[in-house]
Structure formats: C-alpha cells, structure tokens
Amino acid sequence: MKTSKVKFNGNDSYNMNCDIDELVKLGFKNSTYHHDVAPSYTNQKGNIQIFFFDLDDEGIKAEGITNKYTKFLVQKFNDDGEYLGDVGIANKFDEMLRLVAKATLSLAFGDEFMESDDKGTLKEYKKFINWND
C-alpha cells in the first residue's frame, strides 16, 4: 500500500501511515486545524473523525504519543458535533477501518455494534455505505 506524506506543523513529510486516497474514496475529507496535535479526516456526516499519528514526528513525541500501536485514533460525535468518545486506536489501515465501521454502525443502529466481534463488521459497513471494491 502506498503511504501518503503531507505537510503538517513544519514537517514536510508527515507520515499518514496509509494511502489517504483510499480513505477519500470512502467519503472522508481533511478536517485538520492548524492547532491540532495531528492531521485528521472526518466522514461526510461529521460524526467520525480519524487522527493520524506519525510516531517519528517531533510534535507527536512531545505530546507523549509513543506507543508503536497508536498510528490511528478514531473518535465519534453526535449529530450536534458533541464528542461521544474514543472508539479506539489502531496500528494498521484495515484495523482502523474496522473501528470506523463499528462506530458508524453503532451511531446508525445502536451500541451493540461496538461490542460485536470484527467478523463481518467491515463487510456490513461497506454494504451500508454502498461501497464497491
């Protein structure tokens, strides 16, 4: 998988740990603000946000984010934009997509999706958003 590099807070090659084009295909858009600790992307509805941590970036190190399994942080929000909580952290793109799937389905159908196992979750999410490979 191609790895996207972006400009962020003085770092000309901030590692996004994935191919951002793949996330854009799912309808996510850049939601980064200049004062954020890391770049972020949000879904079309604005209720799922993903932060991307480049563990070699000095700003990330200064924030104390050093866990090698923390490359992505997924958060969810209600329809009014109020923070509902962290969905989880992930080390790989497909793991992050599973967290996005769980969060999206839980917001649409109830929190039982947050407790379900990952089998079928990504498939259900793709079906829910009418995504074709």
What element of type H or E holds 108? helix 93-109
How crowded is residue 64: how many other Cβ atoms within 10 Å of its Cβ?
A: 7
Average pLDDT per consecutive 10 residues, the chain (133 residues; last block may be shorter):
92 96 94 93 95 96 90 94 93 92 83 58 59 48
Name the 3-class secondary structure at 7.
strand
Cα 86 from Cα 108, distance rounded (Å)? 17
The string of pLDDT tens digits covering residues 23-41 is 999 999 999 998 899 999 9
Whether the Cβ atoms of residue 16 and residue 39 lie closer than 8 Å to each other: yes
Mean pLDDT over all residues of the chain?
86
